[in-house]
Structure 1
């Protein structure tokens, strides 16, 4: 049985969070080989939970396994960016349309509260303006989750969550590439306003445009 810590957390779960955060923050770079000794030191645990964490990260697209080289961080690519963007626009656009159609007063309250919390803090770090604050990113994810939370399909929500997570590294990179060229706060506010106005078509179009702008900001960078 997998070892557990206080609160029901597992060692493999803790290793997963530690390694995923290292990938998200750029501490380990796209394409970089992941050595078990280094990961054990990072996580402070034995090889077994680290191996289980890597299997999960590979299934989610954060790492890749090569029979000859072992595990490495998944590379960023233009083709994956385009595929991810199209999938997110399709799935989350439909989930948002359904939420606008089915959402009740509790859904509206979730959207308003999530947006308020996100808008209360800046997106960028003070010490590194081109990097995203971790607390903002958590609130950002909560806002997007709230927008689609009333769609009525647990399977669709699970798909959207996985796509959102997989796009994380591209989203973070886009902040440094498009700094000053966009107004994310205005884009998020417009999403909220359209959703609360019960404009499902408009909200879906705004969401697709929102994700398209992120992709467009990265296209030139990845082509280079």
Structure 2
């Protein structure tokens, strides 16, 4: 059972968030071994919540566990990139198509509002343009979630959320690649415009292309 803290949250949840952020930011590198003592010091808590956090991270694909080496940060691979991209194009493309067909005025408002917030700030940090801003990523996730929020299937939304999370490290890596510059803001604007124009097939096609461009930049990276 999780160790409770003030506000009904759990220590395991805090440990999960802290370790996941280190992985997402690249401070814990792909393949790096994760030692319990180091993680306990990072999180400032006992081994039990840290172990629970690692179990959750492993289930989500951020870490792996080996009988001999223990826990490590999951490696990045071309095979996983292709698999995750194809799954996202299939699942999120269908979720968007359904949302465009079924969405009401409240859905339109969510799409407009989240796109407006996303467009207000740049993707890269001012001091390090090749590093993704955390607030941009939060708004980016909110925009993509809003686009598919009217699909009518809680199960499909759960699958899409997990795939979005699974693609996180690849998305961050794509921002740092030389020559990977593209009009991401324009791609998001097109998604919004096609969705609000009730062009279900066009919006789904734009989303598949949007994810495909990220994958294409990373394909070249892995090939090199």
Question: What TM-score range do you get, normalising by the shorter chain?
Answer: over 0.9
Give, in whole Å, the separation in 1 of the partners of 2:175 and 2:16.
Answer: 25
When the two structures are superposed, what TM-score results if normalisation uses the length of structure 2? 0.98
Give the match for residue 144 of structure 2. Answer: 144
C-alpha deviation, 1:180, in angstroms: 5.8
1:45-104: per-residue Cα shift (whole Å, max 9, x none)? Answer: 111000000000000000000111000000000000000000000000000000000000
Compared with structure 1, are the counterparts of its residues 187 and 178 closer, same or farther at alpha carbon in structure 2 (3 Å cutoff)? farther
Residues matched between the structures, number: 224
| Rounded Cα–Cα distance in structure 1 between residues aligned with 2:2 and 2:212 | 41
Which structure 2 segments of 5+ residues have no match?
none
> Whole-Å Cα distance in 1 between the matches of residues 127 and 26 of structure 2?
16
Distance 1:188 1:136 in 2: 13
Alpha carbons 1:96, 1:147 under 8 Å: kept: yes
Encode CA deviations 1:176-202: one digit per residue, 9 max, x unaligned.
115663010000000000000000000
TM-score of the two chains, using structure 1 as the length reference: 0.98
Q: Which residue of 1 aligns with 2:104?
A: 104
- Cα offsets for 1:201-223 (capped at 9, x unmatched): 00000000000000000001112
2:9 counterpart residue number: 9
On the 8 A contact 1:92/1:148 being kept in 2, the answer is yes
Q: What is aligned with 1:94?
A: 94
- Residues 31 and 75 in structure 1, CA contact (< 8 A), matched pair in contact too: yes
Q: Over residues 141-193 of structure 1, what are the superposed CA-to-partner deviations in whole Å (9 max), with x where a residue is unaligned? A: 00000000000000000000000001000000000115663010000000000
Equivalent position of 2:207 in the other structure:
207
- Does 13-22 or 178-187 show the bigger shift? 178-187
Q: Aligned with 2:122: secondary structure?
A: coil
**2:35 matched to which residue of 1?**
35
Residues 130 and 179 in structure 1, CA contact (< 8 A), matched pair in contact too: no
